[in-house]
């Protein structure tokens, strides 16, 4: 939780100003109490389901270790994420493997270790899975990743189950894939995977996913194929404002109801909803200036430290770490990189008296923040700290 105490911004009870005295800016800070609270909400909304945290959102070792100890599973898309999940303490039987271009070494590792399931992305992946199973002497548990062509309401880059997307099996290939998997003695068909995309906020999109999943379970069973697992993927979004987020309980009312009579186990792969609100990025003002009728505040963090605003639009709130009585004015917060797109916020309301050395906090960056940081302009990667 973020709150001001005596005009100093605190994350889960810890002063960000105090942290900035010990850690050079820019840095990320994650609050474990907020993380645990939001992870627990998913567990309570979907009792008995496998809640597989998506490491693509955040792979800090302490974050992962905390979630593993709570009994969550992990969703991994690379050999590096597999290794990070194992190091954090996730049991191999609670690892779900995703991706449209899986390394052969990842397939072999997953099959040999007895991963919960491997989400099959393409017909062409089947012989690679068979080879992995033969090389390890184990049976691969397979879920069909179905792309039903849903036009969900989110950023175009975040739609992964729409027509034309590179992810998943198109409808006309699903039954063929099921036959190929069932005919391979090295493979076991366990269910379906239907991840529609990320940052979904509207119930009508969840309903579309639920309807597609139910339809495919029934269709596959009619064809004689066993479907015991429905993996909904992730995608539950946050508002990135002070407005309340949709909750896992809202999602469960749609998803669980859609399969309540089908006798299937549920798997979910949340990332953003669990960890985004638990993270902030602290950055320091380099200088402020007036130009072109606007007020610009340049800080020491930009698209090198937080790439999301450039990729998906400026959605993050920016707050002063030390609250001021000065008038708040529209301010364009920009980074230090040589790119006109290096804008953290175009119209943040910030104190007029901001000056060099002052601290700002960029909110809701626990997901897709540090994991996407880069070395543009040869700048060092931001540090990450955990509190609570």
Is residue 299 within 8 Å of residue 333, measured between CB atoms? yes
- Which of 314, 267, 305, 265 is closest to 283 using CA atoms? 305
For tokens 């529209």, name the residue.
330
Q: Mark whether 338 is an active-site residue.
A: yes
26: CB partners within 8 A, 6+ apart? 281, 282, 283, 284, 299, 300, 301, 305, 382
Q: How far apart are the first and last CA of the chain?
A: 11
Contact status, residue 285 vs residue 358, Cβ threshold 8 Å:
yes
Distances in Å between the Cα of 319 and the Cα atoms of 191, 351, 362 are: 45, 9, 7
Query: What single string gives the DSSP state of each residue in 13-24?
Result: TEEHHHHHHHSP
Residue found under tokens 């109490």 = 33
CB 269 within 8 A of CB 195: yes
The DSSP secondary-structure symbol of 372 reads: G
What's the CA gap between 193 and 118, in Å, rounded? Answer: 10
Name the catalytic one among 338, 340, 375, 378: 338
Q: What are phi and psi of 133, to 5 degrees?
A: -65, -40
The Cβ-side half-sphere exposure at 17, using a 13 Å CA radius, reads 14
Tokens of 39: 């992870």
For residue 210, give the nearest of 278, 259, 152, 279 by alpha carbon: 259
Query: Which sequence positions are flagged as catalytic?
Result: 338
């Amino acid at each position: 939780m973020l709150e001001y105490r005596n005009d100093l911004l605190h994350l889960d009870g810890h002063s960000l100003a105090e942290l900035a005295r010990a850690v050079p800016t820019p840095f990320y800070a994650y609050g474990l109490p907020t993380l645990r609270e939001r992870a627990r909400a998913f567990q309570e909304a979907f009792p008995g389901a496998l809640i597989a945290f998506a490491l693509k959102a955040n792979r800090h070792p302490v974050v992962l270790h905390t979630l593993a100890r709570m009994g969550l599973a992990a969703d991994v898309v690379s050999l590096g994420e597999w290794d990070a999940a194992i190091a954090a303490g996730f049991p191999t039987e609670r690892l779900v493997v995703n991706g449209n271009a899986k390394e052969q070494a990842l397939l072999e590792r997953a099959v040999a270790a007895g991963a919960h399931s491997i989400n099959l992305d393409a017909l062409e992946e089947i012989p690679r899975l068979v080879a992995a199973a033969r090389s390890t002497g184990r049976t691969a548990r397979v879920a069909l990743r179905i792309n039903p062509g849903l036009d969900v309401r989110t950023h175009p880059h975040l739609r992964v189950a729409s027509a034309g997307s590179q992810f998943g099996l198109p409808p006309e290939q699903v039954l063929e894939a099921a036959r190929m998997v069932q005919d391979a003695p090295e493979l076991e068909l366990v269910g379906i995977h239907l991840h529609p995309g990320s940052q979904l906020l509207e119930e009508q999109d969840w309903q579309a996913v639920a309807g597609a999943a139910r339809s495919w379970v029934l269709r596959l069973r009619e064809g004689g194929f066993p479907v015991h697992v429905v993996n909904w993927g992730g995608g539950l979004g946050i508002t990135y404002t002070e407005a309340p987020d949709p909750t896992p309980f809202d999602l469960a009312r749609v998803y669980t109801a859609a399969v309540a009579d089908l006798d299937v186990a549920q798997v979910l792969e949340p990332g953003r909803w669990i960890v985004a609100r638990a993270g902030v990025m602290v950055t320091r003002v380099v200088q402020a200036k007036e130009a072109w009728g606007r007020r610009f505040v340049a800080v020491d963090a930009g698209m090198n430290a937080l790439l999301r605003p450039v990729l998906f639009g400026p959605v993050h709130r920016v707050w002063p770490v030390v609250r001021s009585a000065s008038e708040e004015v529209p301010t364009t917060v920009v980074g230090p990189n040589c790119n006109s797109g290096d804008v953290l916020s175009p119209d943040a309301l910030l104190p007029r008296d901001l000056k060099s050395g002052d601290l700002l906090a960029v909110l809701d960056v626990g997901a897709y923040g540090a994991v996407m940081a880069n070395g543009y302009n040869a700048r060092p990667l931001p540090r990450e700290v955990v509190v609570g």
